[in-house]
A and B are shown apart, each in its own frame.
Chain A
């Protein structure tokens, strides 16, 4: 079946550093979303990005659907960026999101 691989699995940053998180799909995926799960467990929609590039403040994302990957860029990281970042893609004819295992980010002051 469809596999969603995220890398790196864990990431530790000093405040102010930049980082790139990657999401690879084993097969074609119609749409893609990035989420941030904060330390309280809430899932925050970051980007809905089936293709192309979007930016929102210090965050930006790029999806290259033809090459089956997506990247999430975090610039000038802050401690509040800590948590788990998930990518998820839609398969088949339904909105059946398949999640990656996540990247656990810890930003230290």
Chain B
């Protein structure tokens, strides 16, 4: 059973370009969470999505960032017009449901975005 798959592992973008980060949840999981880790810091919640729905985007910057989880295909975190401050590791996690049941979150290996 494959875990949470993220790609690419590393992404380099110049200032002003767009970055697209992909996340395929574990098989059977329909809930996806995106987290950002700035250098030397802990992980900060960004957004929580269910298939075709954004449930909670309270951690997303108001501008340039968007996320989707379509009916088919992976979840996408999109950053437009990247700036150097967007350089970070972006982690995706998945869970089978949105209830607070006895199920841990499973994380992918992250995408390391570097903005030059």
Contacts and interface: CB of A to CB of B under 8 A. Distances in A.
Interface stretch (A37-45, A57-65, A70-78): A37-45
B109 A97 contact: no
Query: Which range contains the number of A residues in contact with the other chain?
Result: 20 to 34
B42 interface: yes
A94 B100 contact: yes
B55 A94 contact: yes
A30 to B, nearest CB: 5
Q: B interface, how many residues as a size bin?
A: 20 to 34
Contacts of B56: 94, 96
B43 A42 contact: no
B98 A95 contact: yes
B110 interface: yes
Closest A-B pairs by Cβ, 7 of them: A48-B104, A99-B42, A43-B107, A99-B43, A101-B42, A95-B95, A30-B100
Interface of A: 30-31, 33, 35, 41-43, 45, 48, 50, 86, 88, 90, 93-102
Given A41-B109, A94-B56, 15 more contacts: A31-B100, A33-B104, A35-B107, A41-B110, A41-B112, A43-B109, A45-B107, A48-B102, A90-B100, A95-B100, A96-B33, A96-B56, A97-B33, A97-B45, A99-B44
